[in-house]
Amino acid sequence: MPAAQLTSATGSDPAQALSQLAAVSSRVTRTGTAVIGGVPTTAYRAEENLDKVAARLQARVGAKAAQAFRQEAKVLRTSTLPVRIWVDAHHLVRQIRYQVPIPDSSGSAPAGTTTATITFSRYGVPVALTPPPASETADVTSRVLQQARNSSG
């Protein structure tokens, strides 16, 4: 499940991360402190409700993105995802970690889990990006959706 879709659903303002997380979770719990990339942070955990994430994604990005997300969530065979988030004193997200089940080939049970960790740094620093030429890119959305349909039976 692309973290970008989860991020799009919860919003892009890093100063609002906890309120956005609370909007798609039943409860956000403070778990302690940690230093992430040399910055002191407060750690939180929650269980993201994937139905709430899909609804927010539809409202923010559109029905097509929400449907793709719902298809991916169906393949995972879970309605929630555990998430941990570390926020600094300026209310900026410094790290977010999702634990995602990996479906087995039959789609009947999880074969295991994977952890996706995204670390954020250098807030306020200008970014210079050069997109790759079109000849080096591909839209794989239809293939991913087909694979999800095939996996979900």
Dump pLDDT digits (tens) for 16-50: 777 888 888 888 999 999 999 999 999 999 999 99
Report the distance separating Cα 119 and Cα 96, nearest Å.
7
Using 50, 70 and 90 to split pLDDT, how confident is the model at 151? Answer: low
Residue 13: Cβ within 10 Å count: 12
Helix, strand, coil percentages, rounded to 5, for the chain? 35, 35, 30
Model confidence pTM above 0.75? no
DSSP helix/strand/coil, 83: strand
Using 50, 70 and 90 to split pLDDT, how confident is the model at 2? Answer: very low
Vertex 24: Cα angle to 18 and 25 (nearest 5):
80
Question: What residue spans define the domains of the chain?
Answer: 3-151
Question: What residue has token string 């403070």?
Answer: 30
Q: For residue 68, give the amino acid letter.
A: A
